[in-house]
Each structure stands twice: as C-alpha cells, then as structure tokens.
Amino acid sequence: MNRINFSATVLFILFFILQAYAQIYVSPTGDDNNPGTIEQPLKSITAAVSSAQAGDTVFVRGGVYSLTTTISISKSGSEGNRYYLLSYQDERPVLDFSSMLVGSSNRGIRLSGSYWYIKGIDIKGAGDNGMNMSGSNNIIEFCSFYENRDTGLQIGGGASNNQIINCDSYFNADPDHNDADGFAPKLDVGTNNYFYGCRAWQNSDDGWDGYLRGADDVSTILDNCWIFNNGYLKNGTDSDGNGNGFKMGGSDDKMLMHNVTLRNCLAFDNRERGFDQNNNRGSMTLYNCTAYRNGSNYYVSLAGNKAATIVNCIALGYQGPLGTFVIQQTNSWQSPFTVANDDFISIDTSGVRDPRKTDGSLPDINFLHLASGSDLINAGTDVGLPFNGIAPDLGAFELGETVPVELVAFSASVTGKDIILNWATASELNNYGFEVQKKFDGSDFITIGFVPGSGTTTETNQYQFIHKNSEQGINIYRLKQIDFSGTFSFSDEVQINFNAPDEFILFQNYPNPFNPGTAITFSLAEKAPVSLQIYNLVGELIVSLITNELKEPGTYSINFNASGLSSGTYIYVLKQGENILSKKMILLK
C-alpha cells in the first residue's frame, strides 16, 4: 500500500469528509469527560449518541457495560446519511442491565429515532424489552437479546421499514413467565419490517409474535429464520406462556390483518405450535418452510380476509390442522410424498445454538437437511426462490453446493442507447454459460440473452453483453450461471439508471455499510478521462478501480470487492478533468 501525493483539491475534500463525519469511541474503561477518541474514549453510549451527528459512527469497544438506566436514542438520520452504532472490529460489547428494576418503561435501548445502523452488540437483563423500537428505516444486525424481563426485541409505535438481520433472542422471561417473546413486531407496529437469518429459542411466550392491537393490514417478511424450544424457561421447565414458534398474528377482536410471508424458515421443538395462525385475518404465505416435533407443526384453521398459501413445505410428523381454504401445493403431506427420518441427513439438533460465523450468518448444520436420494429433492414448485437442479427442493434447506464459478466483477454502464454489462471470473468449473436476466419497473426477471462460459479453467475470463435500446428508467440485471449438469445460481444484482445524464454525479455506494461487495455508480455528462480510487482515512491509496480511462457520456456502475480489507471507513474519489467528487463508505465484517 503506497501513500500518494494528493492534489490540494483532493486533500481538501478528504479533510472536509473527515471533519463532517466523526468517529466516536466508547469503552468500559473510558470517561465521559474524554474527547471520545480511540485513545481517550467515552464511557457511555448515551454520551456518544448525545454528541453524534448524522453520518457519524459510534464504535463500542468490547467488554461488559453494567447499566441501570435506559439508553434512549431519538435522533434521526436520513436515507443517505445514517447514524452508526457499531461494535469495534471483532470485539463484542455486552450491555448488561441485570441490575435494572423490572418495569414496563425499563427497556435496555429505546430506539425512537430513524435511519440508525446498529451492529454487533449484546443486550441482556433489561427490566422490560432488551430493545424497544418505534423508529423506522433502521438496521439491526448481528445483535443478541437475552435474559431480558420481557421480549428481547419489540417493534411498535408505527415503526416501519426496519431490517433485523442475523440476530438472536433467547432466555427472555417476564416475572409471570407468560409474556416475553424473542422477536415481536406487534400491537401498533408499522409495515414492511423484515427479518433475515434470526434465531429465537427458550423464550417464555413465543419465539416470534405478530399479534396486533392498534395496527391493521400491515406486512412483515421473514427469510431463513430458526425458531425453536419456545414456551420453556432457561432451566428447561414449562413456562406459562403460549409457547408457539411463529405466531403470525391475531387480535383481541379476531379481525385484524397481519400479512406475513415466511420463506425458508424452520420451527421445531416449540411447546405448542410451530407455525401458528392464531386468529390472524391477514394473508399468510409460507414457502419452503420446515416444521418438526412442535406440539402442532402447522395450525391454520380460521378463514381470513386474505389468502393463506403453503407451498414446498415439510412436516416431519403430522402437519396439523389446515383449513380447506388454505392453498396448498407440493407439500410433504400431499400426494405422492411420504416423509421419514431417512429423508434427512440428521434429525439431531446438535449445532443449532452454535456461535454464528464471523460475518454473523447462521452456523452450518446437518439438522433437517435433505439426504441424497430423498424424493423431496427437485420435487417442488418454482415460487421465485433460488434453487439448484430442475426444480426446488421441499423444505427450508436446498440440497447442493453453490455452483463453483468465482465471479469477481459485475458492472453496468451506458453508452448511447445501449447498456453494456461486463463481468469477470477468476476460475470456472463445468461452466456451461450465463443467462443474462433483466427486470424493469417492478416487473419479474426475464432472460434477454445468453453468453457461453469457458468450461473448466483457472484463468481469469472477461465477458460482455450489450443490451441494445433499453428502456429509460431503472434497469436491474443479474446473471444466471449454469453448469453442464443444469445446476445454476444467481449473481448479485446490478442496477443502472438509464437516463441521459446532464451533470457529473457520484452516487452513494450500495449497499452501505457493505461486506464484502458494493456498487459505486456515477454519471458523466461529457466524454473525458475518468479516475475512480479508494482511500483509507490516513490518505493511503487502497486501489484504483479506474485510472485515467476515457469514458463516453453515460451512467456507470462499478462493483468493488473489499474481501481483503479490514472493517472501517473508506473514501472513494471520482475525478473527471478538474472535477472531483467523493463519498464515504463503511465496510463491516
């Protein structure tokens, strides 16, 4: 890595960015009279949040923070300028509220602000919810909520468009042992909240609870979540709560609608129901879910105002009561299937509570994965989820490894009336080729072309596809890589705004924060040499993505892979002649 000689303009831009976006440090050994630097950190998150401005990052050092009062976060950022509350590098901070008194207002974190990104923090022992969220457009990632005296993470107060990613919630129990859930977007919750890769176990009430009181006709999506052993206390005895896995809704008057979609979700060993309608009147869509050894695996018996759909799902054991109104297709309890233990590699739950991977993703397990030779493989209905082989498998886990083609770059650019897609592979094994797929204006993906692959090779290969006369507006592309056996996988998507640009623009990278890949998009109004470079915060050049390359007018999207870099803040700088633009991006691993 070389230190470069910056022009005065570049130096000014970097200085402005570093002044505009602060990094504030908190440590159990800090002092709130300190300036909040890494050498002299603050002691409390409250003090750090108080001094933070939109765009700032609060880094929380590892260790135990013994707390007795709620951390209230009411500031709001914006779509392009979030607040960040992050664990520092690989350290794990624990916010321990065990000494807090039990009480309905004694939450660990009360998040009423919007546009926050919170990652890598454990919250335990709060007198009520571990976290109570009423703000919107927040991201909560790789956090744990445990041993709180009510629900681990509760979302309400109209909170909408929040993402809960790779979080755990367990051993939460209220004093009466009947009301603490793992995750609960409930009561007066808003719409379009999303859960991915979450686990909830041994909570005194339900693992996931969508009961409504005050809200109606709201929607929530869950992907790849595991909910198990709920309705039990930490010591393994029965609680007095409901003990369901996924409670999809319900209300006091039995009339409110929570529209819930569950995809690739797993419910097992819950004391009562695995997937429970309760009295929800909203739509319930279950794709590729698996239930095992719950009191009742699936329970959808009350006709609602909207459709109930169950497709490609597995019940090992009796499926449970399903009304005649439920739309069912290719489920394990339907003809011609039969299900037995030997359809699975293992029915041993070992590993389901194991630590997550370093990126926060779920641990690898064999539990309830289909065994080779099962008639549940390639037997499902295509519902739009990725799959290997000629058809989707049944259940939460698709058999087969990722197609062994290493895609290292995928970008889109505009020249005249054409969109040019470029991609590269570092190695290929049995690669038949790439279908180029596109969607536009909310439509489904369609195949618009095919580019042959290079079979098996360890050499780098470059590919290009030109999409002529594309529609004006947002065009989204992906690659469907296919091997000679018919197995396939999809690339990440690349998005391009196909409008004739009339100015020099550098857009915020997406996603941001990211790990490890992100797309940097820019627009050029005139033909000129362009450079795009990445720097760290001490002014060292990390990589030149484009170096003085002559570009036609148009919009370009360049993928940046930071798999070899450490977590932190980086600056990307775009230069066209004397014009220079720059933005900050955050790599979180």
Q: Which residues are catalytic?
A: 247
252, 213 contact by CB (below 8 A): yes
How far is residue 413's CA from residue 555's CA, in Å, rounded to a whole number?
Answer: 6
Q: Are strands 528-535 and 290-292 parallel, antiparallel or unpaired?
A: unpaired
Beta-carbon contacts of 216 under 8 Å, excluding residues fewer than 6 positions away, are 256, 257
Which residue in 244, 281, 288 sits closest to 260, CA to CA? 281
Q: Are strands 461-467 and 446-457 parallel, antiparallel or unpaired?
A: unpaired
Residues forming beta bridges with residue 561, ordered by sequence position: 517
First to last CA, the chain: 21
Which residue in 588, 585, 589, 581 sits closest to 82, CA to CA? 585
Range 504-519 burial, b when 16+ CB lie within 10 A, else e: bebbbbeebbbbebbb
Q: How many CB atoms lie within 10 A of CB 175?
A: 11
How far is residue 296's CA from residue 242's CA, in Å, rounded to a whole number?
Answer: 13
Q: Are strands 540-551 and 528-535 parallel, antiparallel or unpaired?
A: antiparallel
Please give the structure tokens belonging to residue 81. 């300028």
Strands of the sheet containing 314-316, edge to edge, are 63-66, 93-96, 122-124, 144-146, 168-170, 199-201, 226-228, 266-268, 290-292, 314-316
Q: How many CB atoms lie within 10 A of CB 187?
A: 17
**DSSP assignments along 481-501, one per residue:** EEETTS-EEEPPPEEEEES--
Upper half-sphere CA count for residue 569 (Cβ side, 13 Å): 20
Which residue in 330, 326, 300 sits closest to 313, CA to CA? 330
How far is residue 495's CA from residue 413's CA, in Å, rounded to a whole number?
Answer: 10
Q: How many CB atoms lie within 10 A of CB 363?
A: 12
Which residue in 431, 424, 429, 418 sits closest to 461, CA to CA? 424
